[in-house]
Amino acid sequence: MSKLSSTLVILTLLMTIPLFGNSQCKHFAKQVCKKELAPYIHNGNFNAAILTEGETAEMYKSFYSNQNYRLYICESSAMPRIRFQVLDINRNVIYDNKNNGYKMKWDFVPESSQQLIISLKVEDGENDSDGEPLSGCVAIMIGITEAAKESP
């Protein structure tokens, strides 16, 4: 019976380790990344995950006209360079940070309300000393302000 309970404890630990990593990643986003949105107001969602070099991730998000947005891609310091693109629903590129010196912030006002795709790719970097691919927390932070009204 003790062998069965040891196995259950080990399995439980193995299943909770990824949850602990994502929990730490969201904490990183709240404590470190959120500050970079100022003077924009954070939208309240913490979209963060642990990514490894060479890995990609996408997020679909609705954006509304008459709103100013700031997208900020925040990563832990050990990460290789991150390329992010904003695509329309037909996958046409609206913004690519590779064309702007890999800047991690982009401020924009959508011409119309629409769903956009935020695509991230952790570029290949130098592996750590063990030859393992580097991995770390990457967060997509979104800030909002109301667009200035045009005077009549």
For residue range 31-83, list pLDDT tens digits in order.
889 999 999 999 999 999 999 999 999 999 999 998 999 999 999 877 889 99
pTM value? 0.77
With a cut of 90, say whether residue 101 has pLDDT above it.
yes
Q: State which residues form the domain around 83.
A: 2-144
Residue 152 lies in a domain: no
At residue 42, the pLDDT reads 95
Q: What is the CATH number of the domain that holds 36?
A: 2.60.120.380
Number of domains the chain contains: 1
Do residues 85 and 95 lie in contact, with contact meaning Cβ atoms separated by under 8 Å? yes
Strands 114-122 and 135-146, by their bridges, are unpaired
> What does each C-alpha distance from 29 to 12, 15, 21, 102, 130 come to in angstroms?
26, 23, 12, 20, 27
